[in-house]
Amino acid sequence: MPKNGQTQQFDKAAFQAAVEKHLTTTYASTADTATARSWYLAMGKALAEISTGNLLATEKNLAEQKARSVNYLSLEFLIGRLTGNNLISMGLYENVADAMEEMGQNLTDLLEEERDPALGNGGLGRLAACFMDSLAAQEYPAVGYGLHYEYGLFRQSFVDGRQVEAPDAWRGLEGYPWEVLRPELNQEVSLYGHVEAYTDENGVECRRWVPGMTVEGVAWDLPIVGYDNKSVYPLRLWECRSNAPFSLSRFNDGDYVGAQYSALEAGNVTKVLYPNDNHEQGKALRLMQQYFHCACSVADILRRHEAAGNSIESLSELETIQLNDTHPTIAIPELMRILLDEYKLGWDKAWEISSKTFAYTNHTLLPEALETWSEALIQQMLPRHMEIIFEINHRFMKLVEQTWPGNNEVKRKLSIIQEGPQRMVRMANLCVVSTYAVNGVAALHSELVKRDLFPEFNELFPGRLTNVTNGVTPRRWIKYCNPGLSTLISEKVGDDWPANLEKIAGLEKFADDEAFQKRYMAVKKENKQRLADWVQENMGIELDTDAIFDIQIKRLHEYKRQHLNLLNILALYHRLLNDPTFDMHPRVFFFGAKAAPGYALAKDIIFAINKVAEKVNNDPRLGGKLKVVFIPDYRVSLAEILFPAADVSEQISTAGKEASGTGNMKFAMNGALTIGTMDGANVEMREEVGDENIFIFGLLVDEVLKLKQEGYDPYRYYHADSLLRAALDLLETDEFTPGNPGQLAAIRHNLLDGGDPYLVLADFADYVKTQEKIDAEYRDQKTWARKAILNTALMSKFSSDRSIRDYANNIWKLEPVSL
Ligand code: GLG
């Protein structure tokens, strides 16, 4: 139980009175008639009163101390439900459970009333959420800046096995109890228009943006509550509202109706999160979202800086801005514009400040995810920013010319502007040129960023490209989601491990202790039962918790290779039915994944897994040995049930494609053994746990590259491997779609005739062999328990507290400030 948190401030009677007051005055209910939802909302409001007080106190303290802080800019924060987690951080979980019990309410049930704020797609957004948690836990001064989407990531359901998307109105009708409106922080944001030259009062030639219209940015703060301390940092989410009269020029032209139409359009800016993961879309509205986010955030950073009495020249000493991927890159020309056109600093001074303020995190090497924006679009929406980008590039090209005189090829490659029929702005190049640090998210990934993505930049700016390996917060991903394991850990290593995950290494010496093994496995069994109960209740599928629970949960993407997993399932199915000598330990394969609505093959893979599930789950010939469960609407709150229940964690991306992964870390902490490729953070996890405690298979990065260079032929594998052939050919039949052969053929076609871009077939045999090894090892429960315990014990490196300390020490140069 946290000792230094907000516990001492807790006054039960006052808290109960606040809940009752909100029940009646905010939600118009009475204690005897209120629904569970109203109770949850009233309780949330009462708790938010405590956190808001501390948020204001933290803000004041940091301003007074002139503390250096980080501003984490991200288009996504996949925070998940806040109530349970905040109760833990506040140290109030038991107190509030008790207070609510006295009011006739069960806390666990009330927590289920909260809808997940799903303001992100996947790993990138969830990382931002873990980072905010770790900043607050360690009291590194920080503000998170994001967007207040009206609709988060779509809700997924399956209709006859196919994904159907529905809007996610995460705030409900009543609004989200933890959010607080900050009207005094509102910003005005300009768009469109043109640039004009003018001579200022000192006779200096200047340029300025004459916008075509403006919109209003409204600030909502969500509290990020520091674990076991009093600090509360804001996650500041901007909502776009259109202010009337709207289009300045059209209104003045007398086009009143037209002006109102634009208002409708701009009212859409923060309506919905773009549902693409690792894929850019290039839509004008998305660029508008990005700029709106950056304009509000940069203006707010400058407001804070000045309100604390600091000069603009000292900006980079007191503030650093971390760009989570290239999505907020337009913040760079925005700050430059303000420094040049409003502060009138002159290019060199403005550049010095700006380039010492920004740092950038790269999350992917996939070409389809590297953002480019058409010059024409930027020119139209943000004409002054386009000028500034050109100027940055012009000066940068001079540097390239000095370094590689006369080498036009290298210029073409490095230029921020990509030439072609449509000139495009390469956002990653703009970032590398304009920041003081660029990091990848795992050791392997960062090496590939240097070696393959930006080798010349690495030469040009030695030391700028670095690594910070990702991490996850042990508060949500062990303590909150796995109370059974948490109790066991605390008993052995003391109860301060959630804030000091190094302590968890103390479990290592119990790995061979039989009594401990039994208790550890009993906790695993309880967690498997909790998941089985959920599946029974929500999907009507009965599961045996003696089976191996094998789980792959992540976005649906070819590079993540859910279809490799599927092919192994098909191979098992084939062998169970055709090979009388074949035996396997019962296994349940779980999937959870959303596909981007426009990603046809990803949706085909979901359909195929669902169809295979339907068949195998009801086929008496399989004797219950094989089950497949595709959990619909995978989200943070379901992840909290899935990670603790896993025996096997699937991390099977094509080597070189998964920058880091973070689910891999959550599984291992909770005692699942990984089957994985030498990709992303799997490589470092193997280093930590040792090769005996992880199941590595498949081609290495350079083997992948070599095979592709030599000319990869998927048919070679198809013809050489009868099991692979059997699995693939099942997709052509109507085995899983009775009466409709060929409904699953798209996957087979993509792998054989489509060239198998992610080398699924090349890794198939080794994958199957490694799964067999897992099957054999699981049968020896003592050895399995030992390995699982060691996985928990040896994961301390992957706490996001460590990641944040790496950023703070090596990049941001931040010091903690306690309240
Ligand atoms: C990316 C990558 C993941 C990475 C995550 C956080 O694909 O490998 O773990 O960011 O850095 N789009 C993502 O989820």
Please state whether 609 falls in left (phi above 0), alpha (psi between -120 and 50) or beta. Answer: alpha
66-81+116-470+804-812 and 505-798 in the same fold: yes
Q: Where are the beta strands (DSSP E) in 583-665?
A: 587-592, 626-630, 648-651
| Distance in angstroms (rounded) separating the CA atoms of residues 586 and 548 | 6
What is the per-residue pLDDT for 254? 66
Q: Where are the alpha helices (DSSP H) in 382-513?
A: 383-403, 408-414, 427-434, 443-448, 455-460, 474, 483-493
Q: Which of 520, 458, 480 is nearest to 93 (CA)?
A: 480
- Annotation marks residue 21 as catalytic: no
| In the chain, domain spans | 1-65+82-115, 66-81+116-470+804-812, 505-798
What is the per-residue pLDDT for 252? 65
Average pLDDT score over residue span 434-459: 98
Average pLDDT score over residue span 213-237: 97
Average pLDDT, the chain: 96
The encoded tokens of residue 457 equal 């930049």
Query: Residues near 50 by Cβ (< 8 Å), separated by ≥ 6?
Result: 6, 9, 90
What is the best residue among 662, 677, 683, 800 to mutate for testing ligand 1's pocket, by most ligand atoms within 8 Å of CB? 662
Average pLDDT score over residue span 722-747: 98
The encoded tokens of residue 724 equal 């692979």
Cα of 173 vs its chain's centroid, Å: 26
- Name the residue with tokens 């948490």: 486
Q: How many helices (H) and strands (E) does the chain have?
A: 33, 23
Compare 770 and 253 and report the one with higher pLDDT.
770
Say yes or no to pLDDT of 634 above 50.
Answer: yes
Average pLDDT score over residue span 719-737: 98
* Pocket of ligand 1 contains residue 120 by CB under 6 Å: no
What is the per-residue pLDDT for 247? 62
| Distance in angstroms (rounded) separating the CA atoms of residues 195 and 387 | 9
Q: For the beta carbon of residue 526, count every other beta carbon within 10 angstroms.
A: 16
Sheet of 372-374: strand order equals 372-374, 424-426, 417-418
- Annotation marks residue 148 as catalytic: no
Tell me which amino acid residue 61 is.
Answer: N
Q: Which residues of 354-383 are buried (b: 16+ CB within 10 A; e: fewer)?
A: bbebbbbbbbbbbeebbbbbebebbbbbbb
- Annotation marks residue 666 as catalytic: yes
- Annotation marks residue 24 as catalytic: no
Tell me which amino acid residue 317 is.
Answer: E
Say yes or no to pLDDT of 159 above 80.
Answer: yes
Say yes or no to pLDDT of 255 above 90.
Answer: no
How many CA atoms are closer than 13 Å to the CA of 254, on its beta-carbon side?
0
| pLDDT-derived band at 242, boundaries 50, 70, 90 | confident
Average pLDDT score over residue span 216-221: 97
What is the per-residue pLDDT for 267? 72
Q: What is the interface pTM, i.e. ipTM, of the complex?
A: 0.99
| Distance in angstroms (rounded) separating the CA atoms of residues 488 and 486 | 5
Query: Residues near 483 by Cβ (< 8 Å), separated by ≥ 6?
Result: none
The encoded tokens of residue 666 equal 């959550």
- Name the residue with tokens 């309780």: 43
The minimum-distance atom of ligand 1 relative to the CA of 122 is: 14
Residue range 344-389, pLDDT digits in tens: 999 999 999 999 999 999 999 999 999 999 999 999 999 999 999 9
In the chain, % of residues over pLDDT 90: 95
Say yes or no to pLDDT of 31 above 50.
Answer: yes
State which CATH number among 3.40.50.620, 3.30.230.10, 3.40.30.10, 3.40.50.2000 fits the domain covering 505-798. Answer: 3.40.50.2000
What is the per-residue pLDDT for 268? 86
Q: Does the CA dihedral 141-147-149-152 come out positive or negative?
A: negative
Tell the burial category of 500 from Cβ atoms under 10 Å away from its Cβ (0-12, 13-18, 19+).
middle
What is the per-residue pLDDT for 213? 87
How many A from CA of 135 to the centre of ligand 1?
19
User: Residue 553 in 3-state DSSP?
Assistant: strand
Say yes or no to pLDDT of 245 above 60.
Answer: no
| pLDDT-derived band at 2, boundaries 50, 70, 90 | very low
* Pocket of ligand 1 contains residue 134 by CB under 6 Å: no
- Check 662, 737, 770, 792 and give the catalytic one: 662
Q: Which of 81, 162, 58, 75 is nearest to 122 (CA)?
A: 75
Query: Residues near 25 by Cβ (< 8 Å), separated by ≥ 6?
Result: none
What is the per-residue pLDDT for 1? 43
Average pLDDT score over residue span 644-659: 99
Average pLDDT score over residue span 259-275: 78
Tell the burial category of 201 from Cβ atoms under 10 Å away from its Cβ (0-12, 13-18, 19+).
exposed
The encoded tokens of residue 769 equal 């062999």
Helix axes 83-90, 123-137, angle to 10 degrees: 20
What is the per-residue pLDDT for 315? 98
How many A from CA of 154 to the centre of ligand 1?
19
User: Residue 591 in 3-state DSSP?
Assistant: strand
What is the per-residue pLDDT for 256? 64
User: Residue 604 in 3-state DSSP?
Assistant: helix
Residue range 486-511, pLDDT digits in tens: 999 999 999 999 999 999 999 999 99
Average pLDDT score over residue span 773-800: 98
* Distance between first and last Cα of the chain: 19
Say yes or no to pLDDT of 265 above 60.
Answer: yes
The minimum-distance atom of ligand 1 relative to the CA of 441 is: 11
| Distance in angstroms (rounded) separating the CA atoms of residues 641 and 536 | 14
| pLDDT-derived band at 261, boundaries 50, 70, 90 | low
Say yes or no to pLDDT of 4 above 60.
Answer: no
Q: What is the DSSP letter of 770?
A: H
- Per CATH, the homologous superfamily of domain 66-81+116-470+804-812 is Glycogen Phosphorylase B; (3.40.50.2000)
